[in-house]
Amino acid sequence: MNSKLKPERALWIDRAKAYGIMLVVIGHVSPITALHHPIYVFHMPLFFLLSGMTFKPFEGRADVIKRSRSLLLPYLAFGILITLILAVANRVMMQGVPIPGPLHFLLGGTFLTGAYGIFWFPPCLLATLLLLDRILHLTRWQQVAAVILIALVAAWLSTMVIYNPWGLLTVGMALPFAYAGYTFGTSASFGGGKALIWLAGLLLLFAILQSHTGPVDYKYLRFGDLPQSVLLAFAGSAIICILSLVPVPWLDRVGTASLTIMYVHLPIYYLLQPWLAWPSIMLLAVGGGTLLHLALARWSPARKWLLGRPA
């Protein structure tokens, strides 16, 4: 009788998103190259994994349209807003931040760089969830076989192409993480000493493997050396999930603002990098992005267009 009741939101997932988005910001704004490889190897797989954990199969076309609107409306709205801000800043502040042309906006993905560099992710995430929904209609063994086959095809394609329009060619490698997140859900138990044992083992595995895979950048179809890069991504994601079990004040709010932070951190970086050091830009992007998200949530039009929520 309670099957239709909405389950209580797992706050640790929001904390995991907070850690994830902070790593995204560090990976983009920090000049410390030694940080880039260990961050890039798992920070985007983490978001696909968490999205799978919270995914519910679509119930008809209306549900698909609703989910698509929640991701694509902010994509369009932030794209327009950022373009207007950069146009004004380039004129008033004598900045030279590049603004892509119409064809670049049309193709998206790897055609959008600089302040728009993260815009590949929302279409990729949407396509991944749509594909995940289709696969869940198969039997369990068919699901596993399909996920593995699609990932292998994606890895093969990555050796043959250099462009990734809308981030759609990343979907095949994102799918295993979304599927694993959906399969295991939020029910895994890592309480007490068990969590410490898992954490120690995963940290050791990560330390051993992270020097044995090539560069990873899911946007540019660089998936590292398989299968160790996939194991690394799962290990790094699991480490973040375990750390997220520890309550930290306000961290869950940062997590709920992760998509807003994702959109605004690169424009902030490219506008302010001549004057501010990267730690200051990171704090401004994460803190300011969170406060912006909370402010937008209080205004009905912004909640619809910029956050993708019901007005």
Domain range for residue 166?
Answer: 11-305
3-class DSSP state for residue 113?
Answer: coil
* 205 part of a folded domain: yes
* 310 part of a folded domain: no
pLDDT at 96: 85
3-class DSSP state for residue 63?
Answer: helix
Residue 189's pLDDT band, with cuts at 50, 70 and 90, is: low
Concatenating the DSSP letter of every residue in 15-31 gives HHHHHHHHHHHHHHH--
3-class DSSP state for residue 222?
Answer: strand
Tokens found for residue 170: 């990343």
pLDDT at 186: 60
pLDDT digits (tens, 9 = 90+) for 33-91: 889 999 999 999 999 999 999 999 999 899 999 999 999 999 999 999 999 999 999 99
pLDDT digits (tens, 9 = 90+) for 233-290: 999 999 999 999 999 999 999 999 999 999 999 999 999 999 999 999 999 999 999 9
Residue pointed to by tokens 């050396």: 225
pLDDT at 133: 96
**What is the C-alpha radius of gyration for the chain, rounded to an integer number of angstroms?**
19
Q: 136: Cβ–Cβ under 8 A, 6 or more apart, which residues?
A: 57, 143, 182
pLDDT at 168: 97
| Among 206, 203, 147, residue whose Cα is nearest residue 178 | 147
* 5 part of a folded domain: no
Report the range of poorest mean pLDDT among 5-9, 113-117, 157-161, 243-247: 5-9
* 171 part of a folded domain: yes
> Which one-letter DSSP state was computed for residue 153?
H
pLDDT at 191: 58
Report the range of poorest mean pLDDT among 124-133, 156-165, 183-192: 183-192
pLDDT at 7: 40
Report the range of poorest mean pLDDT among 80-89, 93-102, 250-259, 300-309: 93-102
Residue 194's pLDDT band, with cuts at 50, 70 and 90, is: confident
* 311 part of a folded domain: no
- Quote the percentage of the chain above a pLDDT of 70: 95
User: Could you give the number of structural domains in the chain?
Assistant: 1
Would the pLDDT of 103 be above 90? Answer: yes
Residue 198's pLDDT band, with cuts at 50, 70 and 90, is: confident
pLDDT at 311: 72
Q: Cβ atoms within 10 A of the Cβ of 229, count? A: 24
Q: 88: Cβ–Cβ under 8 A, 6 or more apart, which residues?
A: none
Distance CA 251, CA 17 (A): 9
pTM for the full predicted model = 0.93
